[in-house]
Amino acid sequence: MTTAHRRIRLGVGLVAAVLSLAGCSGGGDDDAGSGASATATTSAPSVTPSSASPTPVVKPSNVYPTNAKGCHPNAKWSTAKAVDWVDFGQIGTPALDPGQVRFPKSRPGFDGPLCDRVTVQVQYWRINYRPSSATSAADPLSQEVDYDYAMKSLKRSELHVDGRTVHDVKPPKGFASTTASPCDGFLEAIYVGAPLKSRELPTKISTGNQILGDTVTFPTKRVVDYHVFAPSGPQLCDDNGVPTASSAPSNPSSGYGLSTPSFPDIQLTPKS
């Protein structure tokens, strides 16, 4: 995984650990009309006989302390600080639907809320695979199989997040579908700021590695998190990214992440 991809898991894990001790609070509706409400819950200390001391309540540390207005000043934040904040606590537990993203309500002082909103993009692509012009994609003895790929953006949602409300983003229809062509994979990315420019799009995608997992090389530091959904049978594809055989591979993708491929690790480079 890339550093950004690895950090988000650590940040969310830390949030979950603290909230499991201190209790968590839910939020309201997305101001764009597509939000979902989170149910507020609290946890009370254990009640023991009067002779025993009550269980102390653990309070979260002031990672993002709030001012008199009840928000954390961030008007002069750099892009790196915005990425760190979204990374730390603004991406909730993945939903059951592949590609769905939730930005939860902040816990005051712990991860916000912020005084000024941060612009966040959630973008989805279809990745069409075809044999690489540099190597033979059909060589079963190769430790790595190289494929060229072409990207097509399917949907991009722009949000302005400050931790005051819950925001839910749903993927486009058919995203990571199990009925997609064996040549088509999918990519989801969460990043801050304006839409990615062409020079910031992935220069390399690696999938199928059972130890390292998926890695995507973005030539920008604005990306907070991403998820690759590998195709079910890229070895069946011709130079145009179209299946050459009707038979499906022995281990098709589930649509909820990577399958256990019947071919070596895949290395992709953009189609020129």
Q: 76 in the Ramachandran plot: left (φ > 0), alpha (ψ -120 to 50) or beta?
A: alpha
Query: Rounded to 5 degrees, what are φ and ψ at 82?
Result: -65, -40
Q: At residue 92, does pLDDT exceed 70?
A: no
Residue 28 Cα distances to 33, 66, 84, 100, 201, angstroms: 11, 20, 24, 18, 33
Question: Residue range 97-102: average pLDDT?
Answer: 88
* pLDDT at residue number 248: 46
Cα-trace Rg, the chain:
22
- Give pLDDT, residue 266: 54
Lowest-confidence region among 17-26, 56-65, 119-128, 167-176: 17-26
Q: Which residues contact 146 (CB under 8 A, 6 or more apart)?
A: 132, 134, 135, 137, 266, 267, 268, 269
| Better-predicted residue by pLDDT, 120 or 14 | 120
- pTM for the predicted model, two decimal places: 0.69
Give the model's pLDDT for residue 71. Answer: 96
**Predicted confidence band of residue 30 (pLDDT cuts 50, 70, 90):** very low
Share of the chain above pLDDT 70, in %: 59
Closest CA to 261 of 218, 214, 202: 214
Supply the pLDDT for residue 2.
Answer: 39
pLDDT at residue 258 tops 70: no
Mean pLDDT for the chain overall: 73
Residue 254 reports pLDDT greater than 50 = no
Question: Can you give the pLDDT at residue 246?
Answer: 56
Q: Where are the beta strands (DSSP E) in 4-141?
A: 101-103, 118-131
Q: Is the pLDDT of residue 49 over 60?
A: no
User: What average pLDDT does range 161-180 have in this prediction?
Assistant: 93
Average pLDDT of span 172-187: 92
* The pLDDT of residue 72: 96
Q: Is the pLDDT of residue 259 over 90?
A: no
- Residue whose tokens read 């102390």: 56
Q: Specify the pLDDT at position 131.
A: 82
Nearest to 111 by CA among 89, 139, 144, 133: 89
Evaluate if residue 119 carries a pLDDT over 80: yes
